[in-house]
Amino acid sequence: MKHKTIWLVVSMLVVLGLLVGGFGCAKEVAPTTPTTPTTPTTPTTPATPAAPEVIHWIMQSHEPLLPGFGPYECVFHCTWVHRWAEWLEEATGGRLEIEIVPVDAMFPRTESLTAAETRIVDVVFAPPPWFSGVIPEMDAISLPGGLVSVRESYDLWYNYGVNDLIQPLYAERNILMIPALGNCHLNIYATFDMPNMASLKGKKIRGFGVYNKYLELMGAVPTTVAHGDLYMALKLGTLDATLTAATSLENLKLKEVVSDYLDIDNPCINGVLINMDAYNELPEDIKYMIETYTPLWYTVGSLELYEHEAYIIGKCKEELGFEVWTWPAEEVAKLKEGCVNEIWPEIAAKTPLCAQIIEITKKHMKEHGRL
């Protein structure tokens, strides 16, 4: 029993020794060779991003920039021309700059179509009806007795398909044309009373294009006088009246020589003509801005123009005793019927496309209860 106890104690000591030896001896690790510290790299200076390319366009309008009046800082064609150019420069982050040169500085305004086509300038602003001698369809988009409001014109062009018919006519001439649609106070400004249609019989009234026929319907004698000579012609009695827009009361000072206005609105269409070579040089995002947002920008300009003109007429009435004539409904209806039945067929006969545009216009007017 004694020997058994001794043997048990010895065995326990052996086991304890083994355990102590296992925990107390660390595993030998071979020494490592110290690494040479790496030389820190010098940080590189980030490259300065290249400045975006600036594209410079030259633009000429057919009307000068006039000082504001009343509550308006930017009047008449200012929104279509000057503010449009400012908007594009800002929207493109300065990548497109448009320099606006004075009227007739680069070419006579009567040569606006050729100037846009041949890139005498990059952009022209002018009324498309001026070009009816070479593009007959321009008479079909400015019909006497036709659509007279901004909303009607916009609807006709963009929802009834007229824009799609007109664009190829300008593309053939290397031009993108975006219209400034709507109406203005376009009718007769006279030196005599105009209470009814009979009051115009035999009067010498300056007209232009298809509106000469319009004057004939009313019994007047269409007379040719250059736009810039209207003031003296009216003052000296060479003319009894002129068919023009109310802008002429201000920019030609006709308010000094006329006393009466016939308040029957007619279509008033202007437009920007962009040379296609200049346009195709633009980045895609700027092209998108121009084609997508210019029609909306110009619609606002059309609304503004109408109110600018109304303000001028109102001031002439208030301060100068200007007489504004509105005819009886039956006379206005008779005049409109004459336009539709006599003037429009002559225009429709010019080209098949003229006829198509007029049929679309009739369809629009009938579907909206205006014909």
The type of residue at 247 is T
Mean pLDDT of 5-30: 40
Asked whether the beta carbons of 265 and 185 are under 8 A apart, the reply is yes
Q: Phi and psi at residue 178, in whole multiples of 5°? A: -115, 120
- Is-contact 81 65, C-beta < 8 A? yes
At residue 12, the pLDDT reads 41
Tens digit of pLDDT for each residue in 267-326? 889 999 999 999 999 999 999 999 999 999 999 999 999 999 999 999 999 999 999 999
Q: Could you report the per-residue pLDDT of 221-233, keeping only the tens digit for each?
A: 999 998 889 999 9
Are 276 and 174 within 8 A, CB to CB? yes
Q: What is the H or E stretch that residue 154 is in?
A: helix 150-159
d(Cα 66, Cα 81) in Å, to the nearest integer?
Answer: 12
Average pLDDT over residues 163-186: 94
Half-sphere exposure of 279 (CA within 13 A, CB side): 20
- Give rounded-to-5 percent helix, strand, coil for the chain: 50, 15, 35
In angstroms, the CA 270 to CA 344 distance is 20
Interval 68-105: pLDDT, tens: 889 998 898 899 999 999 999 999 999 999 999 999 99
Q: Summarize pLDDT for 20-52 with one digit per residue, the tens.
A: 344 343 344 444 555 555 555 555 555 566 667
Q: What are the tens digits of pLDDT across the range 234-253?
A: 999 999 999 999 989 998 99
State the virtual CA torsion across 210, 214, 217, 221 in degrees, nearest 10. -90
Q: What is the pLDDT of residue 25?
A: 39
Query: Mapping DSSP to helix (H, G, I), strand (E, B) and coil, where does residue 323 land?
Result: strand
> For 112-137, what is each residue's pLDDT tens digit?
999 999 999 999 999 999 999 999 99
Neighbours of 99 (CB within 10 A): 13
Please give the single-letter amino acid code of residue 362: K
Q: What pLDDT, on a 0 to 100 scale, did the predictor assign at position 27?
A: 42
Among 229, 195, 200, 193, CA closest to 214: 200
What is the 3 state secondary structure string of the chain? Answer: CHHHHHHHHHHHHHHHHHHHHHHHCCCCCCCCCCCCCCCCCCCCCCCCCCCCCCEEEEEEECCCCCCCECCECCCCCHHHHHHHHHHHHHHCCCCEEEEEECCCCCCCHHHHHHHHHHCCCCEEEECHHHHCCCCCHHHHCCCCCCCCCHHHHHHHHHHCCHHHHHHHHHHCCCEEEEEECCEECCEEEECCCCCCHHHHCCCEEECCCCHHHHHHHCCCEEECCCHHHHHHHHHHCCCCEEEECCHHHHHCCHHHCCCEEECCCEECCEEEEEEHHHHHCCCHHHHHHHHHHHHHHHHHHHHHHHHHHHHHHHHHHHHHCCEEECCCHHHHHHHHHHHHHHHHHHHHCCCHHHHHHHHHHHHHHHHCCCC
User: What confidence score (pLDDT) does residue 43 get?
Assistant: 57
In this structure, are residues 210 and 269 in contact, taking their beta carbons and an 8 Å threshold?
A: no
pLDDT at 42 (0 to 100)? 56
Backbone phi, psi, residue 274, to 5°: -110, 125
For residues 115 and 122, what is the distance between their CA atoms, to the nearest angstrom? 8
Residue 3's identity, in one-letter code, is: H
- The torsion angle over the Cα atoms of residues 132, 151, 298 and 173, rounded to 10 degrees, is -30
